[in-house]
Amino acid sequence: MNPVTEPAGNLRLVVGFDGSPPATRALDAAVGLLSGRPGEIIVLYIAHLAAVDMLSADAIAEVEIGFDEVERDLRAQAGEQLRGREERWKFERRQGLIPEELIAAAVHVRDAHADDITAIVVGSSSSAMHRVVGSVAVSLARRSPVPLVVVP
């Protein structure tokens, strides 16, 4: 019988979170992956402002206020979802293109904790439009420099 060896280092999971059903499934999966292991979950909300060049400064300021409200709501939603199940988590917000920001966050975590295992966890999209134009998960699968878990 071969002894089971524990992987070296902590497990650091960057979870893309927008409050949608696929995102909540991804967060649930991250809890399961981290169970019984040292590490943490980084819940990441990416505020994406499309067509920023077409907005006035006042309009951008209004959108930013909306992003702040969404961030508060998502932080609370993640906290409620994780309450009593997993306490080793933090919430972060970035702004930009979703795949690029997930990758940038994961690379930052990986580089800051070189002896640990870093992975991105996202939910798969069920949108028919994403079959045509591509989804965040597909974009990540093509370009992620860290392991990727796509939760159905």
3-state SS string for the chain: CCCCCCCCCCEEEEEECCCCHHHHHHHHHHHHHHCCCCEEEEEEEEECCCCHHHCCHHHHHHHHHHHHHHHHHHHHHHHHHHCCCCCCEEEEEEECCHHHHHHHHHHHHHHHCCCCEEEEEEECCCCHHHHHHCCHHHHHHHHCCCCEEEEC
Which pLDDT value is given to residue 132?
43
Which pLDDT value is given to residue 48?
79
Which pLDDT value is given to residue 131?
45
Which pLDDT value is given to residue 134?
57
Which pLDDT value is given to residue 130?
42
Which pLDDT value is given to residue 59?
62
Which pLDDT value is given to residue 144?
96
* Per-residue tens of pLDDT for the chain, all 152 residues: 566 665 568 999 999 999 999 999 999 999 999 999 999 999 999 997 665 555 566 665 566 667 889 999 999 999 999 999 999 999 999 999 999 999 999 999 999 999 999 999 999 876 544 444 458 888 999 999 999 999 98
Which pLDDT value is given to residue 80?
98
